[in-house]
Amino acid sequence: MRYPDPFLAAHGYAGAERIPLAADASFRRYVRLAGGPRPALLMDAPPPEDVRPFVALARHFGAAGLSFPEIIAEAPDSGFLILEDFGEATHAALLDAGADPLPLYTEAAEALAALHAAAPPPGLPAWDAATMARATAATFLDWWWPATFGAAPSEAVRQELDEAIRAMLAPFAGAQGFVHRDFFPANLMQLEGRSGPRRTGILDFQDGALGHPAYDLVSLVEDARRDVAPEVRRAALVTYLNARPGLDRGAFLGAMAACGAQRHLRVAALWVRLDRRDGKPGYLRHGPRCWALLQRALSQPACAPLRAFLDAHVPEAMRRNPEG
C-alpha cells in the first residue's frame, strides 16, 4: 500500500489514523482515514488501474440522486482518491453476520432499477456480444481449458466459442444502458438515514460499461460468491421489474439467462486464473456454485448456442474446477 503523504496533508488528513481494509481480487487497495476533517477512505489504484472512470461515474450518478461516494480529493495521475466513507455495513458483511437477506436484496434491486433508469454518461466502453465473447475466451479458453485438457484450444474451438456467445447474445443487443458489471453484496452498502434507492450505497463501479441491464440483475441474484435462496431471488426480480414497468418481461428474462450463461462460464474460469496466475487458490471454492448456475442457465432456450458448443467439446462431467 502506498501512502501519498503530501496529498493527504494538502486535504487535512496528515494526522489521520490509517486503517487498511481487506483487499479483493483487483489491484486497488483502500485505507480508512480516521480523524481527518470528515470520515473518508483513501483509494490507491496503481497501474494498470485508472481512477478517472471511477471519478466520472461517481459524479455522474451522484448528481442523478444515487448513493455513489463523493470524491473529496483526487490525484488521478498518481492513482489516488480520497472518498466519502460509507462505513462498514456492506450487504456482504451484514449477510455474513446473519441479517435477513430479503430486505437487503429487495433494496439492492430497487437501487439497481433506479441506476438503470438513469441516463448513462457518454463515452462508456461497450459490454456487447463481441466484448463478452472475448472476455469469456480470456478466462475459459486461456486458463480453464489448458488446466483441464493439458493443451491450448485449437483456433477452430476459439472460433466456435466466439460464434456461440455472439449468437446467444445477439437477440438482446437492442437493449442498451449502463451496466455496473459487479453488482453484488460486497459492492453494496446499507446507508442509515437515506430512503428509497439511496438507502443502498454503490461501490466498485469503475468498470461500468454500456450493455444489457439484465447482466447486473444476474450478478445480484445469481451471485458467483454466495448462494441466494429461490424466494429471495424471486423477490428481488419482482422488485426490479415492478420498478421498470416498461420492460418486456419475457425478453428480459431471456436476456438474464443468456447473460447469466456467459457470466457464469467466464467467472468459473476466472477462479482458475486467480489460482494459477495470481496465487489465490481460495477463490476456487466458488467454482462449484458457478458451474451449477451455468448448468441451470443452459436449460433455457435462449442459451441454446452456448449449450451446443459445450455439448460438443466439454462433457458435463468435466464442467468443474480442473484437477490438480
272-293 tens-digit pLDDT = 999 999 999 999 999 999 999 9
pLDDT at 206 over 70: yes
Question: How many domains does the chain contain in total?
Answer: 2
Residues 55 and 135 in one domain: no
Do residues 239 and 109 make contact, with C-beta atoms less than 8 angstroms apart?
yes
Answer yes or no: is 324 within a domain: no
**What value does the mean pLDDT take over residues 105-123?**
97
**What value does the mean pLDDT take over residues 243-247?**
96
Where is the domain boundary, 49, 84, 119?
A: 84
pLDDT of res. 125:
96
CB neighbour burial string for 20-34, b if at least 16 within 10 angstroms, e if fewer: eeeeeeeebbbbbbe
**What value does the mean pLDDT take over residues 44-72?**
95
Residues 74 and 154 in one domain: no
What percentage of the chain reaches a pLDDT higher than 70?
Answer: 99
Residues 95 and 80 in one domain: no
pLDDT band of residue 24 (cuts 50, 70, 90) is: low
Residues 300 and 194 in one domain: yes
Range of the domain at 69: 5-84
pLDDT at 59 over 70: yes
CATH at residue 64:
3.30.200.20
pLDDT band of residue 25 (cuts 50, 70, 90) is: low
What percentage of the chain reaches a pLDDT higher than 90?
Answer: 94
The cell for 320 is: 468443474
CA dist., res. 5 & res. 33, Å (int): 12
Residues 119 and 188 in one domain: yes
Cβ-based neighbour number of residue 242 at 10 Å: 11
Residues 37 and 116 in one domain: no
pLDDT at 159 over 70: yes
- Average pLDDT of the chain? 96
**What value does the mean pLDDT take over residues 257-282?**
98
pLDDT at 138 over 80: yes
Of 32, 83, 77, nearest to 58 by C-alpha is 83
- Comparing 48-52, 159-163, 213-217, 292-296, the range with the smallest average pLDDT is 48-52
Cβ-based neighbour number of residue 296 at 10 Å: 15
CA dist., res. 241 & res. 200, Å (int): 18
